[in-house]
Chain A
Amino acid sequence: MNIDHEYRTDISSGWTRKHILGLQDLSKDELNIILNQAAEFKRLAAIGETKLTPLAGTVVANLFFEPSTRTRISFGLAAKRLSADTVDFTASGSSLSKGESFVDTAKTIEAMGVSYVVVRHKTPGAPQLLAQHLDANILNAGDGTHEHPTQALLDIFTIREHFGKIEGLTVTLVGDILHSRVARSNIWGLKKLGAHVIVCGPTTLMPTELSQLDVEVSNNLDDVLDRTDCLNLLRIQFERQRGHFFPSIREYAHLFGMNKQRISKAKDDVLILAPGPINRGVEITPDVADGPHSVILGQVSNGLIIRMACLYLLHLQRTASLGIPG
């Protein structure tokens, strides 16, 4: 059933942005537009309206220059739920191995009629680069250690869904802040929506000047547990680490891993998030990952509707800029 009239609501009015490159650039109002649009898509899904049509006839290209499972599938499914055609690109075996540049590869794919480009790349700023060279609307699916806006949005959506608000909550990001694009996006988004953010991890995994982002910095998880409403346990990014930032996984788990003992020190209604993929037994023990405080799988479901919301809003901007009636 075509229910265009139901999801085209006042929620999205005021959205004028062509690209979603990171949460640093977005205003509080823009963040709320995305979250509210996602809530609307979730409501529709709950009543069985899972196949919508606003992007019918358009093409979404998912350009993944870096390995990904959940984000790539989530974006692909989000585009299909909105009835777009999709083109999937992965770097391995592509023309990049023949020496073609990143921008030329993207431009070539765009020339096949692509309107929306979802890009993941190991280089910070790669989505910004595409935004300069392509006409398509760009959606950042993670750029190196810079930003991962849709992951942060789904985290924030999940927290808001649970607590009914963001303002006034204390959210603690634990782990490898230095290499985490999720942490950076979360910090921008949560701060704009009024949360108190604590970042917690070993000193070697904390970037310099972090406190200038108006966050509380801690190196002791036990000290901050009882003040925390929501813990977001970031993955130790073994693939990005160039050296030895901590002596052993065992020691990391001892100092910063979330386990049953630590849950007992936390608030009764503490919410546990993890962007995944999780390293069981490192950042989180299995009993906590699968326990009552965890919303890890709920995050994955919310990821789909957040990505639908982002694509839909970019589509509204595109049609408006082309003078196509909404």
Chain B
Amino acid sequence: MKSILIKNGRIIDPSQNLDVQGNLLIEDAKIKGLCEATTTADEVIDATGLIVSPGLIDLHVSLCEPGFEEDETIESGTAAALAGGVTSLGCLPNTSPVVDDRSSAEFILLQAERAANCHVFPLGAATKNNEGKELAEIGQLVAGQAVGFTDADHPIENAEIMRCALEYTRMFDRPILNRPQVPDLTDKGQMHEGFHSTVLGLKGIPAAAEEIMVNRDIALAELTQGRIHLMCISTQNSVAQIRRAKQAGIQVTADVTPHHLTLTDQMLETYDPNYKVLPPLRSQEHIDALIEGLKDGTIDVICSDHTPHASEKKTDEILGADFGIIGLETLLPVCIQSLIIPGHLSWSELISKLTCGPAKILGLSKGTLADGADADVTLINPEIKYQLEPAHLKSSSQNTPFLGQELQGRAEIVIVSGEVRYRAEN
């Protein structure tokens, strides 16, 4: 296979504590390490002004295939991932049929291989049909290369089932990913419960809906010694509980989305369904706590929680609109806006949350530029400013509140398995 020399870039690899100006060589789909600028290669990429990062990893993404191809397909979703600089993603089992057996996991892999965009790692259902009643065939799913287990947007409500799931997955050293929301408290809720829900007349979702289940999941992780990963953390008290649990040595990890770091519940004032997400956008004090959680390592990972919906599901009245927004293509710029520009995180800290952080949780040999690693590399232009237009989006859906906004930063070139698979258009 051919070789690629990436010249004059700022090479940042948190897995090796590396932040240097230099040149990186790729050969035979593997990283060959730092080298001289004079090294010869089949292709030379001038990375002046660019950050050379391990390929970004998005921990959980909805690709919607099979079953909801009007929203997204594995082909379009992975194209969106590439355009966002993501070279590997965990694919949620919120499909129809649900990915709760080996053959359905293998279907995901087959379609991803056909698309030939980024790497896709199936997340298997934790329970059959995501119903929370009986464990899915977790061992069979592991054989089908599932890397973690989750009921996606269905919180695992039954504490006994969660206990069993955490105990059972210990055999395979795989995490359970849970979206902590007590359904009784989120029922018919549309947004964060607070001043703005009161004024807007929309049923609120209290912060406690999340915090109660965070508390339960931490207690069960301690009881079982299993690995719990809490998805899309959004409240101040959740961060505090996770911080205490980590200090106590419990195997808990957590992620947050860029939109929960940037947007507040006040945005719902326009009743725009593109601000309707689950968990809901919270108030500024919660955002401040999430950022503190990222800074001190309480929150391990940032992920897009990419949730595509076809326009007819997102443009009508807010009560009827589905929850969720797309995020793969705005992952980097929104992180830059909310974390880098205000100085909350360094580039190395941010890249850690997007590369080695998620790789560690899912047990992937990815997210590093160490010699011999898979050659997945994202070249980031941190300064470029542009307005996000529908034509830019590779996703099949356009349900994002960031359309029309000026963004800063993007993936300029994306290399997957030693091949340049994406170049940004000027």
List A residues at the B interface (Cβ < 8 Å).
24, 101-103, 121-126, 128-129, 143-147, 181, 184, 207-210, 212-213, 242
Q: Are A102 and B317 in contact (CB under 8 A)?
A: yes
Known contacts A145-B203, A209-B195; 16 further A-B pairs (Cβ under 8 A): A102-B320, A103-B315, A103-B316, A123-B320, A124-B200, A128-B270, A128-B271, A145-B201, A146-B201, A146-B202, A147-B201, A184-B199, A208-B204, A209-B194, A210-B198, A213-B199
Q: How far does the alpha carbon of A79 sit from the alpha carbon of B271 in the complex, in Å?
A: 29
CB neighbours (8 Å) of B203 from chain A are 145
Give B187-220 as 1s and 0s: 1 = Cβ < 8 Å from A's Cβ atoms.
1100001110111111110100000000000000
Q: Are B316 and A125 in contact (CB under 8 A)?
A: no
In the assembled complex, which residues on chain A have CB atoms less than 8 Å from the CB atom of B199? 24, 184, 213
How many angstroms from the CA of A102 to the CA of B202 in the assembled complex? 18
18 contacts between A and B (CB under 8 A): A101-B312, A102-B320, A123-B317, A124-B271, A125-B318, A126-B317, A143-B201, A144-B201, A144-B202, A144-B319, A184-B201, A207-B204, A208-B194, A208-B195, A208-B197, A209-B195, A209-B198, A210-B198
Name B316's contact: one of A101, A184, A212, A213 (CB within 8 Å).
A101
Between B195, B204, B271, B319, the greatest number of chain A beta carbons within 10 A of the residue's beta carbon is seen for B271
> Of A122, A129, A184, which one neighbours B271 at CB under 8 angstroms?
A129
Cβ–Cβ < 8 Å partners of B318 in chain A: 123-125
When distances are taken between beta carbons in the complex, the residues of chain B under 8 Å from A213 are 198-199
CB distance from B280 to the nearest CB of A (A): 14
Query: Are B198 and A146 in touch, CB under 8 angstroms?
Result: no
Task: List residues of chain B with CB under 8 Å of any chain A CB.
Answer: 187-188, 193-195, 197-204, 206, 270-271, 312, 315-320
Report Cα–Cα, A21/B202, bound state, in Å.
Answer: 16
Query: Which A-B residue pairs are the 7 nearest by beta carbons?
Result: A125-B271, A146-B201, A145-B201, A123-B317, A209-B195, A207-B198, A123-B319
CB contacts (< 8 Å) of A146 on chain B: these are: 200-202
Q: Which of B198, B200, B270 contacts A208 (CB 8 A)?
A: B198
- By a CB distance below 8 angstroms, the chain B residues around A101 are 312, 315-316
Residue among B187, B202, B206, B312 with the most chain A CB within 10 A? B202
Tell me the bound Cα distance from A24 to B199 in angstroms. Answer: 9
Contact B317 A121 (CB under 8 A): yes
Contacting residues, chain B, for A129 (C-beta < 8 A): 271, 316-317
Closest to A125 in B: B271
> How many whole Å from A180's CB to the nearest CB in chain B?
9
Residue of A nearest to B194 (CB): A209
Contacts of A103 in B (CB 8 A): 315-316
Q: How many A-B residue pairs have CB under 8 A?
A: 67
Q: B326: shortest Cβ distance to chain A, in Å? A: 21
What is the CB-to-nearest-CB distance from A237 to chain B, in angstroms, rounded to a whole number? Answer: 12
Which listed residue (B197, B271, B315, B320) contacts A207, Cβ 8 A? Answer: B197
Chain A's closest residue to B312 (CB) is: A101
CB distance from B178 to the nearest CB of A (A): 25
Instruction: Please measure, in the bound complex, the distance between the C-alpha atom of A145 and the C-alpha atom of B203, giving whole angstroms.
Output: 9
Report B311 CB to chain A, min CB distance, Å: 10
CB distance from A164 to the nearest CB of B (A): 30
Q: In the complex the two chains form, what is the Cα distance from A121 to B318 in whole Å?
A: 11
Contacts of A125 in B (CB 8 A): 200, 202, 270-271, 317-318
Shortest distance from the beta carbon of B333 to any chain A beta carbon, whole Å: 26
Q: B188–A242 contact, CB under 8 A? A: yes
Q: Which residues of B contact A124 (CB under 8 A)?
A: 200-202, 271, 318-319
- For the complex formed, measure the closest distance between the CB of A106 and the CB atoms of chain B, giving whole angstroms: 11
- B208 vs chain A, min Cβ distance (A): 11
In the complex formed, the residue of A with least CB distance to B316 is A101
Compute how far the CA of A122 lies from the CA of B319 in the bound complex, rounded to whole angstroms: 8
A210 to B195, CA, bound (A): 7
Contact A208 to B201, CB < 8 A, known contacts A101-B316, A124-B271? no
- A125 and B270 CA atoms in complex are apart in Å by 8
Interface centre among B200, B206, B270 (most CB of A within 10 A): B200
Q: Which residues of A contact B312 (CB under 8 A)?
A: 101
Task: Judge whether B316 and A181 touch: CB under 8 Å.
Answer: no
Cα–Cα distance between A207 and B199 once the two chains are bound (Å)? 9
Q: Which residue of chain A has its CB nearest to the CB of B204? A: A208
Most buried by B among A24, A144, A212: A144
What's the minimum C-beta distance from A174 to chain B, rounded to whole angstroms? 18
B201 contacts which of A181, A209, A210 (Cβ < 8 Å)? A181
Q: CA separation between A210 and B312, bound complex, in Å?
A: 34
Report B-chain residues with C-beta under 8 Å of the C-beta of A209: 194-195, 198
- Name the residue of chain B whose CB is nearest to the CB of A104: B316
Contacts of B201 in A (CB 8 A): 124, 143-147, 181, 184
- Give the nearest-CB partner of A146 in chain B: B201
What residues of chain B lie closer than 8 Å to A147, measured between beta carbons?
201
Complex contact A208–B193 (CB within 8 A): yes
Shortest beta-carbon distance from B201 to chain A in Å: 3
Smallest CB separation, B235 vs chain A (Å):
15
Cα(A144)–Cα(B270), bound, Å: 15
Selected contact of A102 from candidates B194, B197, B316, CB within 8 Å = B316
What A residues does B316 contact at CB under 8 A? 101-103, 129
Chain B residues near A122 (CB-CB < 8 A)? 319
A210 to B188, CA, bound (A): 20
Closest beta carbon of chain B to A129's beta carbon, Å? 6
Report how far A103 CA is from B273 CA in the complex, Å. Answer: 14
Q: How far is the CA of A242 from the CA of B206 in the complex (A)?
A: 16
When distances are taken between beta carbons in the complex, the residues of chain A under 8 Å from B195 are 208-209, 212
A289 to chain B, nearest CB (A): 27
In Å, the complex CA distance between A103 and B315 comes to: 9
| Docked complex Cα distance between A290 and B197 (Å) | 36
Q: Closest CB of chain A to B233's CB: distance in Å?
A: 21
Q: How far is the CB of A144 from chain B (nearest CB, A)?
A: 6
- Smallest beta-carbon distance B155→chain A, Å: 19
State in angstroms the CA–CA spacing of A126 and B201 once bound together.
12
Write the chain A residue with the least CB distance to B320.
A123
How far is it, in angstroms, between the C-alpha of A122 and the C-alpha of B312 when the chains are bound?
Answer: 19
Could you say which residues of chain B place their CB within 8 Å of the CB of A242?
187-188
**Complex contacts, B194 vs chain A, CB 8 Å:** 208-209
By beta carbon, the residue of chain B nearest A129 is B317
Complex CA gap A128/B200 in Å reads 12
User: Who on chain A is nearest to B202 by CB?
Assistant: A124
Per the bound structure, the CA–CA distance linking A146 and B203 in Å amounts to 10
Closest Cβ of chain B: how far from A142's Cβ, in Å?
Answer: 10
CB distance from B323 to the nearest CB of A (A): 15
Residues of A close to B200: CB separation below 8 A: 124-125, 146
Cα distance, A125 to B203, chains bound together (Å) = 13
Q: How far is the CA of A121 from the CA of B206 in the complex (A)?
A: 25
CB distance from B310 to the nearest CB of A (A): 12
CA distance A129 to B317 in the complex (A): 7
Q: Which residues of A contact B198 (CB under 8 A)?
A: 207-210, 212-213
Cα separation A145 to B191 with both chains bound (whole Å): 14
